[in-house]
Structure 1
């Protein structure tokens, strides 16, 4: 697959592509049980091989430059210039607090005749949408509470109606929030960790969070203006020139890792700590906003949403609801999972009886 890298530990792991092998199989509707590994291995291997071929084509890498990082998005990140330090500890703390990679709701228990599905948007199309969102220019000013309008209504209007990027210090009162959609916002709840106390939100998140949860704005950082993501950071032309590539699972994996490379923190060897750009915070917020909109539709459909992020929504449904989930996927142009391999003959009878 990658010459000279057979013994590299990161390729022996299951999550080099960020999406682990089990989830790739689930997206494709493959039986990933141990007894069936020999049957699915060629398909998984083909996807990996195509991804590496696209990787070499898109970034013009030599074989010894491929897969030389722990994860693919880190490998891609090495192609871009390092982010410039903000030299503002207070702003850096605000950005760290506003950064949320995914949203996890309270775990849904397994019940008889139910399945857990990952409903996924087209990765390449989603990457284009996320990266089309404007990002802040890193020229910030701090506006303390005494310099903001006195009433919270006016403060919210000041932030939401602002043409400049705003990073707001907030106090969110979930006890007075719309119970259904506020819980769906999963403010500070990530799949990979305990609930995080968040005190800052970015401009995009403030727009939709304020619709479902009462919040108090305490202070803000304001950037000089919004700018487009630089052309040098956009998806490679090899991924965008042919519309048919949106049908490629491998192209989707690569596109997802590309935007994630720009939306992740970066370890600084000089300061020996991780740094986070405003770009990363805004791109993650854009992703979560798009995923929240899809998750809200799933809740309105009656599905139990367990989490969302990175272009996907995770749900628990009854097997009798599989056809409803299929209709939902078609209506929202979702590409995974492969319902043709999930729906069994017995599910047709169950759907008819429901």
Structure 2
């Protein structure tokens, strides 16, 4: 359902499984036997109580908003364009739902019954065992958990645009999930029991075969000034995070390449292990290499790994809880994204953030061809540039004619 005005959530165009779009006066007119994904503004969706309506889902349900999907596909949701765009989006979602139905075991009424798809998928996994008997380790895990990175606020430029460039979603999900995760048996090693030399401490952490959670001090004043800000250490989207005094093994590896680090103490896990077999992505996504070409499969794969790499609210304990697995998978994701962000920075692009297999950049329209070249060279998936390039050519022609 594409509302004419996402902040009002009344009339708009609706489509089912790629079928012709129909004009709808209000959400109450939508078929009751269909779950409707909408482009409703988050605040309005909540204010109107739509999160409690049995067949309505918000714009954040897939993690990628409908307007972002439309931008990726080179279509518009504005005005009458929504009449032709709604069937395209509904086909993408319908194909994804077919993959979900084939890949997971669902009971009647369980599919798409959560506020977010990744939470719905998480309900298919075995229940996690959380570390609740070790407050020090629990705090260390929270302090090491950073789901994404915000480098800097965009600067105002009337001729600039914002783009999200991504690694192929399915390929990225497979790469992140290949990262081994720690065993839940941990031991604390106080500073007094560590080597005296910082160089030896660092070598112990980096070269050992046991997972390390390290209490660190970063001296960004001595870091490479080009990349110090790009690390975005402790800077994430939305709310302020825990004081970042701890880092996990994967993050420590790449941070040491851009900043001097002092190690104060560490937690050591008994060893690395692979993800539980029931956490693996469904065969329907992995058995056919051509599935990487499917936008719908990419959306599902991203939600699958994010379901394994996100904290959750535990009703019994009345607080948010976190697994070491989530910390490690997010660190692996950010490590890969940082490498791409660094290459983009080196080519002169203004990087504003990164995470979940993508980087966000602010560029002028005249740089679009350079961005396209960067995507090809780095095997990145970019939005459809055709509408943007066409508009730039029309503007250039109008300027020359004037």
Match of 1:168 among 202, 205, 214: 214
Q: Does 1:258 align with 2:335?
A: no
Higher helix share: 1
Counterpart of 1:191 in structure 2 is 237
Question: What is the aligned residue count?
Answer: 350
| Distance of 2:98 and 2:273 partners within structure 1 | 32
Describe how 1:111-122 pairs up with structure 2 within 5 A: 111-122=157-168
Counterpart of 2:135 in structure 1 is 89
* 8 Å CA contact retained: 1:11, 1:67: no
* TM-fit CA distance, 1:58: 0.6
| Distance of 1:299 and 1:63 partners within structure 2 | 49
Give the match's secondary structure for 1:94.
Answer: helix
* 8 Å CA contact retained: 1:166, 1:202: yes
Distance 1:346 1:85, change over 3 A: closer
Q: Flag the structure with more relative contact order, 1 or 2, with Cα contacts below 8 A and sequence separation at least 6.
A: 1
Q: Does 1:290 align with 2:336?
A: yes
* TM-fit CA distance, 1:110: 2.9
Counterpart of 1:140 in structure 2 is 186
Deviates more, 1:79-88 or 1:35-44: 35-44
Deviates more, 1:47-56 or 1:67-76: 47-56
| Distance of 1:230 and 1:124 partners within structure 2 | 19
Counterpart of 2:252 in structure 1 is 206
| Distance of 1:108 and 1:10 partners within structure 2 | 37
Counterpart of 1:154 in structure 2 is 200
Give the match's secondary structure for 1:344.
Answer: helix
Counterpart of 2:287 in structure 1 is 241
Q: Deviations over 1:281-323 (max 9, x none)?
A: 0000000001001100100111000000001000011111111
**TM-score normalised by the chain length of structure 2:** 0.83
* TM-fit CA distance, 1:115: 1.2
* TM-fit CA distance, 1:124: 0.3
Match of 2:366 among 320, 343, 347: 320
Deviates more, 1:176-185 or 1:29-38: 29-38
Q: Deviations over 1:59-104 (max 9, x none)?
A: 0324511111110000000011111122211111100110001000
Q: Does 1:31 align with 2:83?
A: no
* TM-fit CA distance, 1:182: 1.3
| Distance of 1:174 and 1:128 partners within structure 2 | 33
* 8 Å CA contact retained: 1:322, 1:347: no
Q: Which has the higher Rg, Structure 1 or Structure 2?
A: 2
Distance 1:239 1:156, change over 3 A: same
Deviates more, 1:131-140 or 1:148-157: 148-157
Match of 2:97 among 38, 52, 55: 52
Structure 2, unaligned stretches of length 5 or more? Answer: 1-15, 17-31, 37-49, 397-402
* 8 Å CA contact retained: 2:372, 2:382: no
Match of 2:319 among 265, 273, 276: 273
**TM-score normalised by the chain length of structure 1:** 0.94
